[in-house]
């Protein structure tokens, strides 16, 4: 298969409600959708660049895709079928992005761009054969339970959100922490949710000493795990924290590359890995990291980026069902968070947080081109 | 004992819910009337294309309203059934008046937008498909029904206050003939009563199905998380901008 063309849509999709955590307030999704075309079929992938995670920006993603990746992809004969499709795509994209120039600033990896391209090519290849991704990533469980997320803010606001999640039957809830109201907020949520599973995400807001203090108090509130307590720049202190913490430590922003994973595992710096497709470069890298984690007795959860559309939600669903033993699963908020999704129906979880298999061709998402165009603030096409 | 306590929790839910609901609707209507895309239309400062876009989005929003009212009617408790039945018959034109979808077609025709009818119908079908195909957040029809009812009544309440104004600016600044504005006239005149009955129907519903006040309030607030009027008539961005300004 040779690509006929590539298009990129930079979207702005307002949220139904603002989303707050320790490092950022978000009011809209800034997803980038990559559209790959060949032989009359169209495949879609998605990126959500986060400069504080991978060092990528909207500009860097568009630049690396248009100026570096597309010229190399345009002349390549792409594999379209077989059980090794994911691996073959993974190797091709590794080759392409290994030689990509690094933008200035705190750049870590072109993982968002890689993720968008991997998903678009995979979706396209599978659609050409009318094959579902579920035939490559065979589900090991029929459904997964997604977690609800409570953002930073007042205890009163957190309780209102918690009541909604309880009415929605969600059994697992993550609370954003990292400010002076942490304990008040978690305690307030605990009052509403009873015995439901609670965990926290500090988004790297704490020093080692602050983390030690807070985690002791949070353990008393029955918090099951803490995501990214220290941040990437303080990750050298993770082994000390993990060794004595009463709450299991999960790495997120500290885990971006395969080298990060090796170091974290060798130094016993965490109890869990937070896998996020966009952060780690797509499905193939996530599968590899999940295998590495299992070899070291480290469990995995699937995270998501705020503002993911149905494309990343669908890819995450396939991965979660395939891995089958994830401790927690996040994402698939769809139109629960987005003022408008780009797909119909929107890929989202239902009552209890449950999400089942997607069986349509490719990722199993029906993207509406008119919505893509309506929500795009910038568009690039290889045909231009 | 447990049953008795559960009953006590629902006694009086209607009154407390009614005032919460009224406040929530009024806040959303105020946001609509103060939102820049609306004030441009109301003041005559909007371009012709903005009036046309408003007409189109309004028609998309309401083209399949009867389906949603029918769903709410199917769950209506005895105390609210006659209100919703009356609404449904009006939507369908079975009360001797003109069917509402027909009034919307006359609006499109009057605005010279009849060629957009297929797009309007497609948007209506898409919205209905989404409602049917997407997983339900709530675990019972009781909760899903309340969320739907809150939205249906919300539009009746808003239109009872604003429909005349909408007809006025479309007449004055877009030059639409009176014959095209029947949908607005109808909602402004008839729905003032419907709006009040509708709010009572929501409370009846909550009491009949024994929703606790905090459950009912949570569902109401979730249904109105986004400004439904701005979101439907002007898009998600306008709705988000209004809430951001409020925050």
Tell me the pLDDT tens digit for each residue of B191-225: 667 788 889 999 999 999 999 999 999 999 999 98
CATH topology of domain B2-246: Heme Oxygenase; Chain A (1.20.910)
Question: Cβ A336–B137 below 8 Å, yes or no?
Answer: yes
Asked if residue B7 has pLDDT above 70, the reply is no
Task: Indicate the domain borders of chain B.
Answer: 2-246
pTM as predicted: 0.92
Helix, strand, or coil (residue A3): coil
| Helix (H/G/I), strand (E/B), else coil: B65 | helix
Is there a contact between B137 and A168 if contact means CB atoms under 8 Å apart?
yes
pLDDT band at A331 (very low <50, low <70, confident <90, very high): very high
Which positions in chain A touch B247 (Cβ < 8 Å)?
18
Q: Do residues A144 and A331 touch, judged by C-beta distance below 8 A?
A: no
Please report the DSSP string for A54-95 in residue order. TS--HHHHHHIIIIIIHHHHTT------STTHHHHHHHHHHH
pLDDT of the residue at A22: 61
Q: What is the pLDDT of residue B20?
A: 95
CA dist A310 and A46 (Å) reads: 9
Measured between CA atoms, how close is A310 to chain B, in angstroms?
A: 12
Handedness of CA B73, B78, B80, B85 (dihedral sign): positive
Partners of B139 on chain A (C-beta within 8 Å) are 167-169, 351-352
CA–CA gap between residue B229 and residue A299 (Å, rounded)? 45
Residues of A with CB under 8 A from a CB of B: 12-18, 27-28, 160, 163-164, 167-169, 334-336, 338-340, 344-346, 348-352, 354-355, 368
User: Nearest Cα to B239, choosing from A161, A154, A343, A338?
Assistant: A338
Helix axes B182-208, B13-34, angle to 10 degrees: 150
- For domain A143-356, give its CATH number from 3.40.50.1000, 3.20.20.120, 3.30.379.10, 3.30.70.1710: 3.20.20.120
Q: What residues of chain A lie within 8 A of the CB of B225, using their CB?
A: 16-17
Q: What percent of chain B has pLDDT over 90?
A: 68
Q: Which tens digit of pLDDT belongs to each residue from A22-67?
A: 666 778 899 999 999 999 999 999 999 999 999 999 999 999 999 9
| Phi and psi at residue A208, to the nearest 5° | -60, -45
ipTM at complex level: 0.86
Does residue B128 carry a pLDDT above 70?
Answer: yes
CATH superfamily of domain region A5-131+366-381: Enolase-like, N-terminal domain (3.30.390.10)
Residue B1, pLDDT score: 35
DSSP state of A296: T
Nearby residues of B55 by Cβ (< 8 Å), 6 or more positions away: B107, B108, B111, B113, B170, B174
Predicted confidence at residue B9, as pLDDT, reads: 45
Q: Which residues of A touch B235 (CB under 8 A)?
A: 339-340
Q: What is the pLDDT of residues A264-274, one digit of tens each?
A: 999 999 999 99
């Amino acid at each position: 298969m040779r690509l006929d063309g590539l298009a990129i849509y930079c979207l702005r999709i307002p949220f139904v409600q603002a989303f707050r955590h320790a490092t950022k307030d978000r009011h809209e999704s800034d997803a980038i959708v990559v559209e790959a075309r060949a032989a009359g079929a169209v495949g879609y992938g998605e990126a959500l660049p986060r400069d504080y995670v991978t060092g990528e920006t909207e500009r860097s993603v568009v630049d690396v895709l248009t100026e570096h990746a597309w010229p190399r992809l345009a002349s390549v004969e792409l594999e379209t079928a077989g059980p090794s499709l994911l691996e073959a795509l993974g190797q091709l994209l590794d080759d392409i992005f290994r030689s990509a120039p690094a933008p200035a600033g705190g750049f870590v990896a072109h993982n968002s761009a890689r993720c968008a391209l991997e998903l678009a090519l995979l979706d396209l290849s599978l659609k050409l054969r009318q094959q579902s991704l579920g035939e490559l990533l065979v589900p090991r469980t029929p459904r997964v339970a997604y977690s609800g997320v409570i953002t930073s803010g007042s205890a009163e606001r957190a309780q209102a959100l918690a009541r909604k999640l309880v009415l929605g039957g969600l059994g697992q809830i993550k609370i954003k922490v990292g400010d002076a109201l942490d304990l008040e907020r978690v305690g307030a949520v605990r009052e509403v949710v009873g015995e439901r599973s609670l965990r926290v995400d500090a988004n790297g807001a704490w020093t080692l000493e602050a983390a030690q203090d807070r985690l002791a108090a949070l353990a008393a509130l029955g918090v099951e795990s803490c995501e990214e307590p220290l941040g990437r720049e303080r990750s050298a202190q993770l082994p000390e924290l993990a060794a004595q913490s009463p709450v299991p430590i999960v790495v997120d922003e500290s885990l971006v590359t395969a080298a990060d994973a090796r170091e974290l595992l060798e130094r016993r710096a965490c109890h869990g890995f937070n896998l996020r497709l966009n952060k780690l470069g797509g499905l193939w890298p996530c599968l590899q990291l999940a295998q590495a984690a299992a070899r070291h007795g480290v469990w995995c959860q699937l995270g998501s980026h705020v503002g993911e559309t149905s494309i990343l939600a669908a890819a995450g669903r396939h991965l979660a069902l395939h891995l089958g033993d994830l401790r927690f699963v996040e994402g698939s908020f769809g139109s629960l968070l987005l003022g408008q999704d780009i797909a119909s129906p929107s890929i989202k979880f239902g009552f209890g947080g449950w999400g089942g298999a997607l069986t349509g061709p490719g990722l199993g998402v029906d993207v509406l081109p008119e919505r893509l165009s309506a929500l795009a603030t910038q568009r690039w096409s290889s045909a231009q | 004992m447990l049953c008795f306590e559960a009953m006590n929790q629902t006694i009086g839910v209607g009154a407390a819910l009614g005032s919460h609901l009224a406040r929530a609707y009024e806040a959303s209507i105020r946001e609509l009337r103060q939102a820049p895309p609306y004030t441009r239309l109301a003041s005559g400062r909007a371009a012709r294309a903005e009036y046309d876009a408003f007409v189109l989005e309004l028609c998309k929003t309401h083209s399949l309203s009867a389906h949603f009212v029918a769903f709410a009617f199917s769950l209506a408790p005895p105390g609210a059934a006659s209100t919703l039945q009356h609404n449904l018959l009006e939507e369908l034109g079975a009360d001797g008046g003109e069917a509402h979808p027909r009034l919307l077609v006359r609006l499109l025709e009057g605005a010279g937008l009849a060629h957009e009818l297929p797009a309007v119908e497609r948007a209506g079908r898409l919205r209905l498909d989404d409602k049917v195909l997407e997983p339900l957040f709530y675990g019972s029809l009781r909760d899903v029904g309340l969320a739907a009812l809150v939205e249906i009544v919300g539009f009746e309440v808003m239109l009872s206050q604003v429909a005349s104004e909408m007809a006025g600016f479309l007449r004055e600044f877009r030059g639409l003939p009176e014959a095209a504005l029947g949908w607005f006239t109808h909602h402004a005149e008839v729905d003032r009563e419907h709006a009040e009955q509708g709010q009572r129907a929501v409370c009846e519903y909550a009491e009949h199905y024994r929703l606790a006040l905090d459950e009912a309030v949570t569902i109401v607030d979730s249904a109105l998380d986004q400004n439904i009027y701005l979101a439907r008539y002007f898009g998600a961005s306008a709705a988000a901008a209004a809430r951001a300004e409020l925050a």
